[in-house]
Chains A and B, each alone.
Chain A
Amino acid sequence: MDKTTRILTVDDSASMRALLNHALTSQGFDVAQAEDGEVALEWLALNEVDVVITDINMPRLDGFGLIEKLRQGNRHRDRPILVLTTESSEEKKARARQAGATGWIVKPFDPEKLVAAVRRVSH
């Protein structure tokens, strides 16, 4: 049997973190949560993870900045990073793609589709 897939979700909204936590842990994923890009970077420096799911608009370090920093280092260069955002502009999507995001999901999210995407990018 596969070992449990570990996910880090990065979102500044406590309500959104609770929704994500429920949607993912109920499907058997091991979920850690960070409230902005800075906290995520600190956590990722010390912990292993299989997939990162990040919001874009966050204080301190936003989603674009987080993706860029992760892609610059060796440890998380190839880590799947899914962007989960209310942003629907093509320009922002292109920017995320250029920064090195693996995928783009517009909120409100559908738990089944989110879980399917996590399974796809983590295998």
Chain B
Amino acid sequence: MKISVKVIGYLTKDTGFSEREIEIPGEITADELLSILNIKKNLPILVVRNGRGIKLKEKIGDGDRIVISPFFSGG
């Protein structure tokens, strides 16, 4: 399964990239994806799947566009 991942802000420090397609073994949770990408959960994180915010326990599957960002609280 392939997903498209975009990582925003300081989280790129953990992942070493900001945007790429990655292969996943099957459906995984958002939380599992964060572990695969070595993203440390020092602060709250936002995960957006196909433009909609999701919880960390929610599933990610083939063809999804995932955007991972800090939980912005606004300038």
Do A and B share a complex? no
